[in-house]
Amino acid sequence: MSVDESAASQSEADRIDRLPAHIGIIMDGNGRWATSRGLPRLIGHREGYKTLRSVLLHANDLGIQYLTVYAFSAENWRRPEDEVDGLMQLITQAAIDELRVMHLNNVRVRVAGRLDELPHSLRNALIKGVETTAQNTGITFTLAINYGGRAEIVDAVRRIMREGTNPDEVTEETISRCLYNPDIPEPDLLIRTAGELRLSNFLLWQGAYAELYVVQKPWPEFTPEDLEAACQEYARRVRKFGAVAPRSASP
């Protein structure tokens, strides 16, 4: 990034009064974007990958600390076999190709999901990315792959049971400690593209009090400017966490 581009990004960040520390994104609409143009669905996923790259790097420049994206859900295995195979190959190649870019930009890569069910080549590429960038201090980028919010809670409960914890001693903190990435804070903002109004089993436990922001455009059309608009909307909201808003807060 040039000096001018870096300064411009800082200027944008300065205009956002309160950045969310952690943003989760449901990257929806790739296949529909392609279909509406008479293209194979996999082309939409390829365009979505390009979008993710630009949005991630812009989030890093803005100073957002954590970005978690829904890359492949545990339910996505139900899609046509050729689409699933193509997605696995696309994510594998992206994990390999983008590692240098992630490392040079100080991005720390993490993953969430049942990795043992993924193809060996993809799992190995993801593990290498995590290990290579483990000491980076920029944005923490988590790829939720073969991920489901319910499955994560099930896996947490199984871990608690294996540890022999007394049922009467199980608290919300106990469950949070046993989630996939317990050191990552809960998301402040959840963005969903393509106009759908549902969570689709994404970060169900962690997103209990996240602010929701839905855009109509499909993920391949999402831009860094859209990310800034979401952050600006977040800054205007009053987060109450079940309590009453302070008198000084905006309605």
Active site residues: 28, 76
Give the dihedral of Cα atoms 197, 203, 204, 206; nearest 10 deg: -120
Instruction: Report CA 6 to chain centroid distance, whole Å.
Output: 23
